[in-house]
Structure 1
């Protein structure tokens, strides 16, 4: 069993200066790292690679034009996802830390675009509004950009309208103590089954 690390969100591919090695450009995680909690790395890497391939095919000469084109591609493709992920990661981290401490987050989360609903508000609305759920799912699956979904006036209206709606009844989520206890029991059972107890 291996723990998944959470590297810092980073955007490097928008540098406009010619690369140190002529004709070599960053792609995938070398160009942009987004929180792996959202599982966008491979999708963005493939989209980025295909766009870079088109650029290199259409601009065969090594030089400033290629560097500028590569930076433009990264800016258009990667920056929106990077900025949305930075905001979502910050909000989630603040919430987790506050819950672990038994408090409320001290600072309200900041949206990457003024007026854009927070991911938590969209997720809550998605439990009672199928249109919001569809938009959220398409964004989470990297089928539509955050701007295409979250900045649509009709979508924002539906999220706001769902704010006071009653949520579907269901079992409450486990408390932190219950979750830690369940994980401990699972770790003990896995260790016993694999013969790694005490190792």
Structure 2
């Protein structure tokens, strides 16, 4: 159900952004709203409170966002609340942001290495990803996992390239465990 809600409303918002030629502006506003929704526990408590009626919740949202974001975005927010889907609002904006990034050929890469990477190494990785994928730009996220020993793991969407020493050792271990030596054949 949540996936359907985020897709339905996220697609509607994306179509509005493209048709109105306001993709970049609406992307920035959606990111700002998403941050507010993630960080503001008081707003979440208020919007999920069972004794506050939908009309009051809509009024609260309009007071907060009306003069700060486009009418199309407040309209989607109003609609989500009136249909009882406030809990899905963050996922709607996440879906919308992902749609815009795909539209603009912006990839998101998660790189995990066994030690912190230098700025030069980060730039080389980003450049190589741009050469080998259809994306023209990347949002890069870096993490350190010392258990990788060497190499790195790169994830873009549902694709994973694992060139870590840890993965190679695990593969070798699996291959060696498949080998069964027959005692009679090994004797001279």
| Alignment TM-score > 0.5, same fold | no
Which structure has the highest helix share of the two?
A: 2
Between Structure 1 and Structure 2, whose CA radius of gyration is higher?
2
